[in-house]
């Protein structure tokens, strides 16, 4: 039932697997929605004085070697555009993540923009003041100490030493 709730075609999936009436399906959908919302509301803020939370962002996109090969059926590539080399590039979503170092609690967020306002609001909502925030010194993270009164450890991007 939870699998059906999380998919786009819940009605068809639940009719095939379970012989539920429309009212029963609606009741279950509402119940699962309430449980999911309560779980989201119950999330506490991470960190505290003397604790470390690591943050980073990444762009998720698939790239085939030499732009060859087939796209799998699960790949959803709505926009295709030419890159500088004449190949087709696929744009994927930006993911912002934070992990509490000692408890290994992980939170991931899909963000449209990686600007200071967007990331700063997520940090303010999910990380306690006084927490040591470990980041890669990206420009949008420069707002962290002023907003949350946090210390910041920097890990600048470097070329690998061979």
Per-residue pLDDT reduced to its tens digit, 51-93:
889 999 888 876 666 656 555 555 455 555 555 555 555 567 8
Query: What is the model's pLDDT at position 100?
Result: 93
CB 41 within 8 A of CB 35: no
Q: DSSP characters for 110-154?
A: EES--SHHHHHHHHHHHB-TTPEEEE---GGGGGHHHHH---EEE
**Residue 26 DSSP SS3:** helix
Query: What is the model's pLDDT at position 104?
Result: 92
pLDDT tens column, 105-121: 999 999 888 888 888 88
Token digits for 126? 């999910």
CB 41 within 8 A of CB 88: no
Categorize the per-residue pLDDT at 25 as very low, low, confident or very high, splitting at 50, 70 and 90. confident
- Stretch among 32-36, 137-141, 154-158 having the lowest mean pLDDT: 154-158
Categorize the per-residue pLDDT at 97 as very low, low, confident or very high, splitting at 50, 70 and 90. very high
Residue 78, C-beta contacts closer than 8 angstroms, at least 6 positions apart: none
For the chain, domains (ranges, CATH) are: 2-41 (no CATH), 52-64+76-154 (3.30.420.10)
Instruction: Check whether 99 has a pLDDT greater than 90.
Output: yes
Residue 100, C-beta contacts closer than 8 angstroms, at least 6 positions apart: 46, 47, 51, 52, 53, 106
């Amino acid at each position: 039932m939870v699998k059906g709730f999380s998919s786009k075609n819940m009605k068809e999936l639940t009719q095939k697997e379970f012989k539920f009436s429309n009212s029963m399906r609606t009741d279950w959908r509402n119940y699962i929605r309430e449980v999911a919302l309560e779980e989201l509301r119950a999330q506490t803020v991470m960190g505290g004085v003397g604790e470390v939370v690591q943050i980073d962002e990444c762009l998720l996109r698939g790239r085939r070697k030499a732009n060859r090969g087939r796209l799998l059926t699960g790949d959803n590539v709505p926009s295709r555009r030419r890159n500088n080399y004449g190949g087709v590039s696929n744009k994927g979503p930006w993911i912002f993540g934070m992990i509490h170092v000692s408890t290994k609690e992980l939170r991931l967020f899909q963000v449209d923009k990686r600007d200071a306002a967007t990331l700063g609001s997520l940090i303010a909502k999910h990380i306690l003041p006084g927490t040591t925030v470990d980041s890669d010194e990206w420009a949008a993270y420069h707002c962290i100490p002023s907003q949350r009164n946090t210390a910041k450890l920097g890990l600048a991007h470097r070329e690998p030493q061979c």
